[in-house]
């Protein structure tokens, strides 16, 4: 922060530095942050800044449930040579982000709103959770203020592979839930068959987006009649994937 504040400051020997008159601003009231979803496995930190004396930001972020692949400057900082952006991994799943305006008395993104950092996470076994651990703000006088942020963001689940899970409950009466993962968006069909291979009902025949999904079966056939107790099979088909599992209906 000291480095950024003195980026272009040159003071001849024997001359006193001029002290700028600062506006009286309470930065925590004027500077807000939130995590918003991007596409698939990308999340962003968005700044909402109504201050004119903000000089720098230090954010420590925890990422849980998956691996943090990359942290990059957000669109609000694109092509900004007058702003420093740096990251420092401190421990697994945690990253420090430092952002500061370069130059004497130069404010950081005065009264600006937009993306200041972008996270890319790896596909995992469960949704990634991003939470602010600490946020420190510095004003033009290098005075530090800590912001308390309790919010967290759970990213959309990004499966490693397309998969069909075992229904639950199993055995069941009268309803069970079928869960499936889509590693990429596409047309998917899920159908129920009896032990003779006869089609009982088509539960789903539609496009499904990337992520984890569920569809329920209420133990009824295509005409709406309840089927008898017994062993049934459910089959999922999508591009490059075909799987069948067994379930038991007990009335």
Residue 143 has pLDDT above 70, yes or no: yes
Residues near 86 by beta carbon (within 8 Å), at least 6 away in sequence:
97, 98, 99
Residues 197 and 238 in one domain: yes
Question: Among the three residues 127, 154, 181, which one is the final residue of a domain in this structure?
Answer: 154
Q: What percent of the chain has pLDDT over 70?
A: 84
Lowest mean pLDDT among 117-126, 138-147, 229-238: 117-126
Is 245 among the domain residues? yes
pLDDT (0 to 100) of residue 125: 65
Give the tokens for residue 137.
């703000």
Q: Is residue 1 part of a domain?
A: no
Task: Provide φ and ψ at 236, rounded to 5°.
Answer: -115, 130
Assigned domain for 168 exists: yes
SS (H, E, C) the chain: CHHHHCCCCCCCCCCCCCCCCCCCCCHHHHEEEEEEECCCCEEEEEEEECCCCEEEEEEEEEEECCCEEEEEECHHHCCCCCEEEEEEEEECCEEEEEEEECCCCCCCCCCCEEEEEEEEECCCCCCCEEEEEEEEEEECCCCEEEECCCCEEECCCCCCCCEECCCECCCECCCEEEEEEECCCEEEEEEEEECCCCEEEEEEEEEECCEEEEEEECCECCCCCECCCEEEEEEEEECCEEEEEEEEECC
Same domain, 194 and 148: no
Are residues 176 and 225 both part of a single domain?
Answer: yes
> Closest Cα partner for 137 from 11, 8, 30, 18?
30
Residues 119 and 197 placed together within one structural domain of the fold: no
User: What CATH code is carried by the domain that includes residue 195?
Assistant: 2.60.40.4070
- What are the backbone dihedrals phi and psi of residue 87, each rounded to the nearest 5 degrees, phi first? -130, 155
Whether residue 73 is found in the same domain as residue 139: yes
Q: Rounded to whole angstroms, how far apart are CA atoms 146 and 51?
A: 15
In a domain, 109, yes or no: yes
pLDDT value, residue 7: 53
Please check whether residue 9 lies inside any domain of the structure. no
Residues 31 and 142 in one domain: yes
- What value does the mean pLDDT of the chain take? 84
Q: Do both 137 and 221 map to the same domain?
A: no
| 199: containing domain | 163-249
37 and 149 assigned to the same domain: yes
Instruction: Please tell me the predicted confidence (pLDDT) of residue 179.
Output: 95
The reply to whether 118 and 85 lie within a common domain is yes
What CATH number is associated with residue 93? 2.60.40.680
Q: Is residue 125 part of a domain?
A: yes
Contacts of 159 (CB under 8 A, 6+ apart): 123, 181, 182, 183, 210, 211, 212
Examine the domain organization and report whether 47 and 72 are in the same domain.
yes
Confidence (pLDDT) at 203: 97
Assess whether 188 and 150 both reside in one domain.
no
In the listed set 113, 135, 154, which residue is the last one of a domain according to the structure? 154
pLDDT digits (tens, 9 = 90+) for 148-179: 665 666 666 677 789 999 999 999 999 999 99
| Same domain membership, residue 103 and residue 28 | yes
Count Cβ atoms within 10 A of the Cβ of residue 122 and give its class: 0-12 exposed, 13-18 middle, 19 or more buried: middle
In a domain, 10, yes or no: no
CA pair distance 106, 186, nearest whole angstrom: 49
Q: Is the pTM of this model over 0.85?
A: no
Domain boundary among 125, 154, 183: 154
Residue 142: pLDDT above 50? Answer: yes
Number of domains in the chain: 2
- Over residues 180-221, the pLDDT tens digits come to 999 888 999 999 999 999 999 999 999 998 888 999 999 999
* Closest among 124, 154, 159 to 238, alpha carbons compared: 159
b/e map of 73-100 (b: 16 or more CB within 10 Å)? bbebbeeeeebbbebeeeeebebbbbbb
């Amino acid at each position: 922060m000291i480095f950024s504040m003195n980026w272009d400051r040159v003071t001849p020997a024997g001359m006193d530095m001029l002290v700028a008159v600062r506006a009286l601003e309470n930065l925590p009231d004027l500077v807000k942050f939130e995590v918003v979803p991007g596409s698939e496995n990308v999340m962003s930190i968005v700044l909402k800044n109504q201050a004119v004396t903000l000089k720098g930001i230090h954010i420590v972020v925890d990422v849980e449930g998956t691996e943090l692949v990359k942290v990059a400057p957000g669109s609000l900082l694109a092509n900004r040579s007058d702003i420093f952006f740096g990251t420092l991994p401190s421990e697994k799943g945690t990253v420090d982000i430092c952002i500061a305006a370069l130059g004497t008395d130069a404010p950081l993104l005065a009264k600006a709103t937009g993306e200041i950092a972008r996270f890319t996470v790896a596909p995992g076994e469960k949704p990634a959770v991003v939470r602010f651990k600490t946020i420190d703000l510095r004003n033009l006088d290098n005075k530090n203020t800590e912001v308390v942020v309790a919010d967290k963001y759970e990213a959309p689940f990004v499966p490693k592979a397309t998969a069909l899970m075992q229904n639950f409950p199993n055995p069941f009466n009268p309803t069970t839930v079928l869960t499936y993962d889509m590693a990429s968006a596409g047309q998917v069909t899920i159908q129920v068959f009896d032990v003779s291979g006869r089609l009982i009902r088509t539960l789903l025949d539609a496009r499904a987006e990337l992520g984890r999904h569920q569809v329920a079966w209420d133990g009824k056939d295509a005409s709406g009649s309840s089927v008898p107790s017994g062993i049934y099979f459910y089959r999922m088909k999508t591009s490059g994937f075909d799987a069948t599992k067994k379930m038991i209906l007990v009335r």
